[in-house]
Structure 1
Amino acid sequence: MINSSRHETSATRGSSMVALPDRVRSPWWVLGRRMLAALAILVATVMLVYFDNGGYDDGNDSTGKVDFVDSIYYSTVTLSTTGYGDIAPVSQQARLINAFVITPFRIGFLVLLIGTTLEVLASQGREMFRIARWRKNMRKTVVVVGYGTKGRSAVETLINNGQDKASIVIVDPSEQAKNDAHADGLVVIAGDATRRAVLLQAGVSDADQVIITTDRDDSNVLATLTVRQLNPDAWIVVSVREHENVALMRQSGANSVITSSDAVGRLLGLSSMSPVLGSVMEDLLTYGEGLEVAERDLLVSEVGKQPQQLPDQVIAVARDEKVYRYFDPVVTQLARGDRLIVVRPAKELPWAPRPGTHGEDSADGEE
Structure 2
Amino acid sequence: MEMGEGAARTAQVMLPSRRPGPMRAVLRRVGLAVALLLIVVVLVYVGRDGYHDGARARMSLLDCLYYATVTVSTTGYGDIVPVSAGARLVNTVIITPVRVLFLIVLVGTTLEVLAERTREDWRRARWRSRVRDHFVVAGFGTKGRSAVRTLLRNGVPPQEIVVVDPDPAVISEATHAGVTGVVGDATRRSVLRQAAVERAREIVVACARDDTAVMVTLTSRELNPDAGIQATVREAENIPLLRQSGADHVVVSSETAGRLLGVAALHPHLSAVMEDLLQRGSGLDLVEREVRPDEVGIPAGTVAQPVVAVVRDDRTLAYDDPGCSVLRDGDRLIVARSTTPDPDADDFDDRTL
Q: Following superposition of structure 1 onto structure 2, how do residues 132-281 of structure 1 map, counting pairs within 5 Å?
A: 132-281=125-274
Q: Does the 8 Å CA contact 2:26/2:113 hold for their aligned counterparts?
A: no
Give the partner amino acid of 1:52. H
- Match of residue 350 from structure 2: none
Deviation digits for residues 221-260 of structure 1 (CA, Å, limit 9, x no counterpart): 1111111121111111011111111111111111111001
State the secondary structure of the residue aligned to 1:189.
Answer: strand
State the secondary structure of the residue aligned to 1:316.
Answer: strand
Deviation digits for residues 65-93 of structure 1 (CA, Å, limit 9, x no counterpart): xxxxxxx9xx97x867799xxxx999857
Q: Scaled by the length of structure 1, what TM-score is found?
A: 0.69
Q: CA deviation at 1:208?
A: 0.4
Name which of 284, 290, 307 aligns with 1:291.
Answer: 284
Residues 168 and 52 (structure 1 numbering): CA distance in 2 closer, same or farther, change over 3 Å?
A: same
- Match of residue 122 from structure 1: 115
Q: CA deviation at 1:336?
A: 1.2
Residues 283 and 89 (structure 1 numbering): CA distance in 2 closer, same or farther, change over 3 Å?
A: closer
Runs of 5+ unmatched residues, structure 2: 1-18, 55-65, 342-353
Q: Does the 8 Å CA contact 2:29/2:106 hold for their aligned counterparts?
A: no
Deviation digits for residues 70-123 of structure 1 (CA, Å, limit 9, x no counterpart): xx9xx97x867799xxxx999857753541454135214412431121111221
State the secondary structure of the residue aligned to 2:92.
Answer: helix
- Match of residue 100 from structure 2: 107
Cα RMSD (Å) of the superposition? Answer: 4.1
Give the partner amino acid of 2:136. V
Q: In structure 2, how many angstroms separate the alpha carbons of the residues matched to 1:279 and 1:93? A: 81
Q: Scaled by the length of structure 2, what TM-score is found?
A: 0.72
Name which of 290, 297, 310 aligns with 2:303.
Answer: 310
Q: CA deviation at 1:278?
A: 2.5
Runs of 5+ unmatched residues, structure 1: 1-21, 55-71, 349-367
Q: In structure 2, how many angstroms separate the alpha carbons of the residues matched to 1:331 and 1:273? A: 31
Q: In structure 2, how many angstroms separate the alpha carbons of the residues matched to 1:32 and 1:184? A: 28
Q: Does the 8 Å CA contact 2:296/2:326 hold for their aligned counterparts?
A: yes
Deviation digits for residues 261-289 of structure 1 (CA, Å, limit 9, x no counterpart): 11111111122223333333223223323
Q: Does the 8 Å CA contact 1:236/1:253 hold for their aligned counterparts?
A: yes
Q: Does the 8 Å CA contact 1:35/1:113 hold for their aligned counterparts?
A: no
Q: In structure 2, how many angstroms separate the alpha carbons of the residues matched to 1:28 and 1:293? A: 47
Q: In structure 1, how many angstroms separate the alpha carbons of the residues matched to 2:105 and 2:332? A: 64
Q: Bigger radius of gyration, 1 or 2? A: 1
Name the structure where helix makes up a greater proportion of residues.
2
Residues 315 and 140 (structure 1 numbering): CA distance in 2 closer, same or farther, change over 3 Å?
A: same
